[in-house]
Structure 1
Amino acid sequence: MSTQRSIFITGGGSGIGRATALHFAARGWFVGVADINAGGMAETLNLIQGSAKWAGPLDVRDRKGWDEALAAFAEAAGGRIDALVNNAGIGTGGSLSELDPEEIDRCLDINLKGVLYGAQAVYPYLQKTAPGSALVNIASAAGIAGSAGMSVYCATKFGVRAVSESLDAEWAGDRITVASVCPGFIETPLLDGTGNRRSNEQIRDRVRAAGLEITPVERVAEAVWDAVHGDKLDYFVGATAKRMAFAKRWMPGKVRKQLRASLRPLGQ
């Protein structure tokens, strides 16, 4: 088995996945990126110096595909996987009554089922490299408090945090680190989306209009690094996420009033 540590990152073709790949590669890790976007993966690999890198297609909804991708990566990385970052995800917003069933299913399958499949598939690899191995799931500030117009997306991110908490207990005996990273609004291509098919207003414009900050994506990559090497369960990234976590814990009644008073939910 190789002595070089390795990390497998889903959604590695852009945004948080790409920033995380570059962060770990710069610190000597063998980096693997998986995505459905072949062009994005190629761009990520081109940004990584040296040969300690790998890329392969993966639809996180495909359980068999997970086994194939992880096996190929482990072989390329010298027989080991030290960390998995479940990052692949999509945004879905809008009134639940107006969402197409297909939109609901797609968000649940990618954002939540994909995380469960990834954790299940990588478990035997992390067992072999423990202690020091880690599963890091990318959640969101939307997994801290449920906002109007984001019921499906919030359900997936609350679920991601629940999966992380459960596996933190379940894998404790294996000495595998499990953590969730909860960013607020991050500078990624996701902000250029509209949230759902019935809207033509970008999420980025809504965030700015609300006076909320957009955090550089590199901050999330730093949090992933801390999560792999740390012992906390939740890592909150950006002022919005940190404020929300504090208020939800200490002032839940006030948070509820503010959320119910929201005039327009993101994605509408």
Structure 2
Amino acid sequence: MSVRKAIFITGGASGIGRAIAVRFGREGWFVGLGDIDEPGMAATEALLPGGYSFACRLDVRDRAAWDEALDGFATAAGGRIDVVANNAGIPLGGALVDNSAEEIERCLDINLKGVLFGAQAAYPWLKRSAPGSCLLNTASAAGIYGTPGASVYSATKFGVRAITESLDAEWAEDGIEVRSLMPGFIETPLLDKTPHHGANEDIRSRVIAGGLEITPAADVGDAAWNAVHGRDLHTVVGKTAARLRFAARWMPGRLRKQVRASNRPLGK
């Protein structure tokens, strides 16, 4: 009898987290969700096979809460965790001088500190189920090249990329795979939020005005499945991310000129 594998996903109440949950649930995995949005998690669970999911309220900034969440999930999943998806994150845009100290600290705490805490908490569980276990971090195309009008957000996603690369080496001898997703603009509720407290335009409007494509969330679910089961350290998702990676590698000078010429901070 085959053992049902288990994945725990932060930010599982909507968007990318929900897409990952649905994709792995479709493959017969036991799916765990961690989020502060409890009604959203219930909606995600409704899309999963009955009896094969677990949800708990989790603020990723709380290190002790991470241990409690993974302990509870492992118990529900039969004592194993094969993948932890560090996906929870928030947007922050606008010129740096327009970002409040509170906004900066919140973005750093959730997007960066939350990933570090998640990796720490996940390690003993992933080591136990290795080889073949995986820490999957959601970075961003903003972690490929710094995005004008999103310096704090870009910094956090470059940080997630660095964490991924560091732990890929650090955990290799334990048989734990470490991967990241680098999506462009994805069809999620985050697009309908304003980039910072003083903005009067949502992110979606800026993306559309810039002529950039919005990638279906299901594509990220497929990319997550491929990342966990493939060999690539970083997986880009969407045409914007793919073009940006190509330009950053092969045409850095031209990319810099294009970025400087097109700079119009989000929310302006």
Does the alignment reach a TM-score above 0.5? Answer: yes
1:206 corresponding residue in structure 2:
206
1:146 corresponding residue in structure 2:
146
Moved more, 223-232 or 235-244: 223-232
Q: Cα offset for 1:6?
A: 0.1
Q: Distance in 2 between matches of 1:199 and 1:158?
A: 24
Which AA in structure 2 matches 1:72?
G
1:234 corresponding residue in structure 2:
234
Q: Distance in 2 between matches of 1:250 and 1:209?
A: 27
Render the CA deviation track for 1:10-67: whole Å, top value 9, x for unaligned: 0000000011101101100000011000110111111112211000000000000000
Moved more, 66-75 or 2-11: 2-11
Alignment check: 8 A CA contact 2:139 2:158 kept = yes
Alignment check: 8 A CA contact 2:200 2:267 kept = no
Q: Cα offset for 1:119?
A: 0.4
Report SS of the residue matched to 2:54.
strand
Which AA in structure 1 matches 2:134?
A
Moved more, 184-193 or 42-51: 42-51
Alignment check: 8 A CA contact 1:119 1:135 kept = yes
Aligned residues: 267
Alignment check: 8 A CA contact 2:38 2:57 kept = yes
2:128 corresponding residue in structure 1:
128
Give yes or no for the alignment of 1:169 onto 2:169: yes
Report SS of the residue matched to 2:135.
strand
- TM alignment of 1:1-268, pairs within 5 A: 3-268=3-268
Identity in percent: 63
Alignment check: 8 A CA contact 1:139 1:182 kept = yes
User: Taking structure 2 as the reference length, what is the TM-score of the superposition?
Assistant: 0.98
CA RMSD, 1 decimal: 0.9
Q: Cα offset for 1:267?
A: 3.4
Q: Distance in 2 between matches of 1:78 and 1:141?
A: 36
Q: Distance in 1 between matches of 2:226 and 2:267?
A: 31
Which AA in structure 2 matches 1:201?
E
Which AA in structure 2 matches 1:259?
V
Alignment check: 8 A CA contact 1:126 1:133 kept = yes
Q: Distance in 2 between matches of 1:214 and 1:265?
A: 19
Report SS of the residue matched to 1:236.
strand
Report SS of the residue matched to 1:180.
strand
**Gaps spanning 5+ residues in structure 1: where?**
none
Alignment check: 8 A CA contact 2:80 2:129 kept = yes
Alignment check: 8 A CA contact 1:150 1:267 kept = no
Q: Cα offset for 1:211?
A: 0.5
Alignment check: 8 A CA contact 1:13 1:37 kept = yes
Which AA in structure 2 matches 1:137?
N
Q: Cα offset for 1:173?
A: 0.4
Render the CA deviation track for 1:166-206: whole Å, top value 9, x for unaligned: 00000010111101100000000000011001112111011
Which AA in structure 2 matches 1:222?
D
Alignment check: 8 A CA contact 1:92 1:267 kept = no
Q: Distance in 2 between matches of 1:34 and 1:201?
A: 29
Alignment check: 8 A CA contact 2:30 2:53 kept = yes
Moved over 6 A (4+): none
Alignment check: 8 A CA contact 2:16 2:217 kept = yes
**Gaps spanning 5+ residues in structure 2: where?**
none
Alignment check: 8 A CA contact 2:96 2:151 kept = yes
Report SS of the residue matched to 2:79.
coil
Alignment check: 8 A CA contact 2:95 2:266 kept = no
User: Taking structure 1 as the reference length, what is the TM-score of the superposition?
Assistant: 0.98
Alignment check: 8 A CA contact 1:91 1:107 kept = yes
